Amino acid sequence: MMESERPKDECGVFGLYKHPESAKITYFGLYALQHRGQESAGISVAGEDDKIFSHKGMGLVSDVFDIKDLEKIDGGSAIGHVRYSTTGGSVLANAQPFVVFHRGRSYAVAHNGNLVNAHLLRKELEEDGSIFQTTMDSEVFLHLFVKNLKKGDVEGALKKVISKIEGAYSFVVLTCKGEVIGIKDPNGFRPLALGKLNGHYVLASETCAFDLVQAEFIRELDPGEMVIINEDGVTSIKMDEQPEKRSLCIFEYIYFARPDSTIYGRNVYQMRKAHGNRLAEESHVDADLVMPFPDSGNYAAIGYAEQAKIPFEMAMIRNHYVGRSFIQPTQTMRDFSVRIKLNPVKELIRGKDIIIIEDSIIRGTTAKTRVEALREIGAKKVHMRISCPPHKFPCYYGIDFSSKGELIAASKTLEELQEYLGLDSLHYLSVEGMLEASGVENPENKFCKACFDGSYPVPFDPNFTKQCMG
Catalytic residues: 11
Q: Are 370 and 361 in contact (CB under 8 A)?
A: no
Is the distance from CB of 188 to CB of 202 less than 8 angstroms?
A: no
Measured between alpha carbons, how far is 320 from 338 in angstroms, rounded to an integer? Answer: 14
Give the Cα separation of 56 and 280 in Å (integer).
45
Residue pair 227/208 in contact by the 8 Å Cβ criterion: no
d(CA 189, CA 253): 12
At a CB cut-off of 8 Å and minimum separation 6, what does 237 contact?
155, 159, 225, 226, 227, 228
Strand 77-83 and strand 40-46: pairing? antiparallel
- With H, G, I as helix, E, B as strand and everything else as coil, classify residue 338: helix
> According to DSSP H, which parts of 59-206 are helical?
61-64, 67-73, 118-127, 137-147, 154-164
What are the DSSP calls for 24-84, one per residue? Answer: HHHHHHHHHTGGG--SEEEEEEE-TTS-EEEEEEES-HHHH--HHHHHHH-SSEEEEEEE-
Q: Are 87 and 446 in contact (CB under 8 A)?
A: no
Number of Cβ within a 10 Å radius of residue 232: 8
d(Cα 56, Cα 246) in Å, to the nearest integer? 34
